[in-house]
Structure 1
Amino acid sequence: MLNLKDNIFTIFIMLGQNCNLNCKYCMQHTLINTIQDKSVINDEIFDFVMHHADKQSQPIDIRFYGGEPLLYFNDIKDIVFKLKEANVSFSIISNGKLLSKNIVEFFNNNKFTSCAISWDGKNVLETRHYDVFKQKEDLLLQIKNLNVDGVISAYNSLDDYIEALLPYQEKYFKLNQKIFPFFNEIIMDAGACFSDLTDFNYEKVEEQAKNIIDNFLIATTKINEELTVKDKMYMLLLTMLCQQINNDNKNYTNSYCANGIHVLNLDLEGNLYQCHNNWIKIGSIYDDYDTYMSKAKKLDNMAAKNFVDSNCKNCSVLSLCKGGCPLVSSKIRQSTNFCKIRQTLFEPIINFINDALSVHGDFNKLKGKY
């Protein structure tokens, strides 16, 4: 059985490719050509996971992935039951359409450290054709470790997204005495995107980046007792971005997303893949170490080229963009606004954070007038 020597942070459990939505920007539309038949769980994947979990100082994040993972809820329950005593935690990325009371209770009672639900703000029907907060609000607010993932597109600007999330954050805070993390990823066109999704108003994007900074600065003038939920949202967002900037970019010259090396993509039969979005098989749990790693590192070099063989290494927003997803081809990058939207949104934020660090040394100490 494959015995990996590197630390394993995350194992995506690739349950299957079926989905009950048809999101306009889904990368899998072009990266997956054939829907595979449903697999029967190979019990030896549990031995593989537990072997590597025993070697880690921190629990491995077992992340359930699809398609839509809740279509495979019976498999999820089986896997959690088999692994719940191992050195692992669980997480899931779902569109939430199949959420039920029983599923929420299952998440809350079984070491799920993150239940990420996809939602794109007030114009979500334009991008996902389904509004999970409108349909499932009560259930979402009951998830102890809720996380909301949004895609930034022409229909969903970052500051507008925060405003759209605010009423749900306020209700969640009232119930749970905390706000839920929210993650915003700029749309990545792998060849399937509709042009209206990337028809950005760049002046608005830049203005909203500055609004984010202004709102953060307002929050820093307050003491904890005065902070509103909105203040907490801006502080959380800027703190997350600061942490990303502080990450050593040298790490990304070796591995952007670490897929195949520190992040494994494992199906129910025991096959291992380059990425959880493209299902390109690079080995299995039965490979020897050298054979598997040679394939994984060869494909991982796609990311390193963004830093060595292109203009990325000199880009002003590299510390947040990290060269972008290696699945987005050079041809698509050159024919779309892939770089422009990232530079417009990230540059004001990066400049602000770097200035704050130069003045205060520690971003977390920024208080009062900047």
Structure 2
Amino acid sequence: MKQEFLINNKKYIFNGETLDFYEVTDEDTTIYKENNESDQRNKNNELRTLFKLVFNISNKCNLKCKYCYAQGGNYGREDSILTKESIDKIMDKLFIKYDRINTVYFFGGEPTLNFENIKYAVDRLSSCYDIKDYRIVTNGTNIDDEMVRYFKEYEFRVYISIDGSEEIHNLLRGKNTHAIILKNIQKFDLFDMEGQLELICTYTKYHKDNGIGYNDLEEYFKKLGIKYSISNVITDDENLKLQHDENYEELQYSEIDNSIKKILEHSDNTGISGILDTVLSTMISKNQNEFFCKELQNDYSNVYDYNEEVYSCIRLLGSYKKDDAKIYEFNNKKNYELCKKCWAKKFCTVCTADLLLFGRDKLVNQKKCDKSEYYKYAMKKVLEIYDEDINKASELFNNYCKYFIK
């Protein structure tokens, strides 16, 4: 299936089967033909690569955040930690199956509550693999100087949750936590680690009800001078859930425009439109996918729980194990009538965890998919930049690859 774009009296065609763009001339010109990521993917497959390894290193937390999808940090189960013995067993399985591991995440609960075993896991991994990308997601309240030194030594990317100014943050995450986090953030500055730190903010109905919009949060984070991203809360709690905005379509287009501006300006706000993210990734890699989420299929991602059980996604802990047949069923685009005849089916993404946890009736029953229109808009915007100034288009793609790919 093909999609045509007319820009300044020039015709561009996107081939939905090959994911190539062409400018229609006497001799058709392919745009963004290189596919280095795909070549690297083939090389990785030859090396038996696990792209993403996640440890639920601590199935407990020291906070009780109002919107926590992990139900207080333990996913509705017992408080526990991943032990050295369990790490050894997991390592034995990894070593037999994989030659290479790309990215390692430490998650929770609150992962720093099991810092000793984070170090143990890194030691074990380092003895078998050359891993250059360690990451940790933390609430930031338990970080001390030893941890910061360690994160610097192993070049961890550290993601700290902070939900805005003191009043709203403490309302969502607990009294006095805002001051503690700001104090701990300063440690990263002292150890010259600003580039390894990113703040993550969750926008909720509480923000909206208290008159706090995205612009207010952006102004707050700009003053901190640290990379950050803002995302909407994931919940089915009516007290927290953001209602579908009547101007939703207009907001989608506006978010795409603003995201292009962020990328070109190399903004500290690394949160960009998911639609634009998918389009840019597709134009660069041309990786085709018959599934909504690549991380849920095959051996792209392994998430090890505190009890050694393996999942494909951190959000599915305690719900759907890696080999659960429902994951394949819900994740496969061939199981949705609307997707079968869509020009964007080879690259479209949907959060399958949302479908599994909150239901997929809307996706199954809808008669029209607006998402394809958003993709079309984003593609046209990128092509307009390319048509106007190829150097600017190159800057867009280079900045995206360097600063905005998570």
Equivalent position SS for 2:149: helix
Aligned 8 A contact 2:82 2:117 in 1 = no
Aligned 8 A contact 1:117 1:148 in 2 = yes
Distance 1:71 1:258 in 2: 28
Amino acid across the alignment from 1:164 = Y
Counterpart pick for 1:115 among 144, 158, 162: 158
Q: Quick one: structure 1 residues 280 and 268, their matched pair in 2 at CA, closer, same or farther if it must change by over 3 Å? A: closer
2:187 maps to 1:187: no
Q: Deviations over 1:142-189 (max 9, x none)?
A: 4351122222333265444332211122xx5xxxxxxx3x34433222
CA shift for structure 1 position 81 = 2.2
Amino acid across the alignment from 2:49 = N
Aligned 8 A contact 1:274 1:280 in 2 = no
Equivalent position SS for 1:326: helix
Distance 2:224 2:340 in 1: 39
- In structure 1, the gaps of 5 or more residues are 173-179, 221-230, 284-294
Distance 1:7 1:19 in 2: 31
Distance 1:320 1:237 in 2: 20
Distance 1:92 1:348 in 2: 32
Q: Which residue of 2 aligns with 1:290?
A: none
Counterpart pick for 2:353 among 321, 326, 331: 326
Equivalent position SS for 1:213: helix
2:61 maps to 1:44: no
Q: Which residue of 2 aligns with 1:84?
A: 126
Q: Which residue of 2 aligns with 1:357?
A: 383
Q: Which residue of 1 aligns with 2:8?
A: none
Matches within 5 A, 1:227-246: 231-233=265-267, 237=271, 242-245=276-279, 246=281
Equivalent position SS for 1:81: helix
Equivalent position SS for 2:151: helix
Matches within 5 A, 1:219-234: 231-233=265-267
Q: Quick one: structure 1 residues 139 and 200, their matched pair in 2 at CA, closer, same or farther if it must change by over 3 Å? A: farther
Amino acid across the alignment from 2:62 = N
Aligned 8 A contact 1:94 1:117 in 2 = yes
Aligned 8 A contact 1:159 1:208 in 2 = no
Stretch of structure 1 that moved more, 81-90 or 204-213: 204-213
Q: Which residue of 1 aligns with 2:13?
A: none
Q: Quick one: structure 1 residues 275 and 36, their matched pair in 2 at CA, closer, same or farther if it must change by over 3 Å? A: farther
Distance 1:265 1:313 in 2: 30
Stretch of structure 1 that moved more, 235-244 or 137-146: 235-244
Amino acid across the alignment from 2:134 = F
Counterpart pick for 2:254 among 187, 210, 217: 210
Q: Runs of 4 or more off by more than 6 Å in structure 1?
A: 312-321, 346-350
Distance 2:357 2:120 in 1: 41
Q: Quick one: structure 1 residues 52 and 165, their matched pair in 2 at CA, closer, same or farther if it must change by over 3 Å? A: farther
Q: Quick one: structure 1 residues 250 and 270, their matched pair in 2 at CA, closer, same or farther if it must change by over 3 Å? A: same
- What TM-score results when the alignment is normalised by the length of structure 1? 0.68
Counterpart pick for 2:325 among 281, 298, 301: 298
Whichever of the two has the greater Rg, that structure is: 2
Stretch of structure 1 that moved more, 115-124 or 23-32: 23-32
Stretch of structure 1 that moved more, 76-85 or 244-253: 244-253
Q: Which residue of 1 aligns with 2:76?
A: 33
Q: Which residue of 2 aligns with 1:152?
A: 203
Counterpart pick for 1:20 among 62, 78, 92: 62
Q: Quick one: structure 1 residues 234 and 24, their matched pair in 2 at CA, closer, same or farther if it must change by over 3 Å? A: same
Aligned 8 A contact 1:253 1:304 in 2 = yes
Matches within 5 A, 1:88-107: 88=131, 89-107=133-151
Amino acid across the alignment from 1:46 = M
Q: Quick one: structure 1 residues 268 and 62, their matched pair in 2 at CA, closer, same or farther if it must change by over 3 Å? A: same
Q: Which residue of 1 aligns with 2:402?
A: none
Equivalent position SS for 2:199: strand
Q: Which residue of 2 aligns with 1:136?
A: 184
Aligned 8 A contact 1:69 1:93 in 2 = yes
Q: Which residue of 2 aligns with 1:70?
A: 112
Distance 1:124 1:355 in 2: 36
- In structure 2, the gaps of 5 or more residues are 1-45, 398-406
Stretch of structure 1 that moved more, 203-212 or 322-331: 203-212
CA shift for structure 1 position 239 = 9.2
Equivalent position SS for 1:149: strand
2:189 maps to 1:162: no
Equivalent position SS for 1:253: coil
- The count of residues paired between Structure 1 and Structure 2 equals 322
Distance 1:252 1:160 in 2: 39
Distance 2:270 2:276 in 1: 10
CA shift for structure 1 position 64 = 0.7
Distance 2:143 2:64 in 1: 17
Q: Quick one: structure 1 residues 243 and 21, their matched pair in 2 at CA, closer, same or farther if it must change by over 3 Å? A: same
Stretch of structure 1 that moved more, 303-312 or 200-209: 200-209
Distance 2:64 2:140 in 1: 13
CA shift for structure 1 position 304 = 2.1
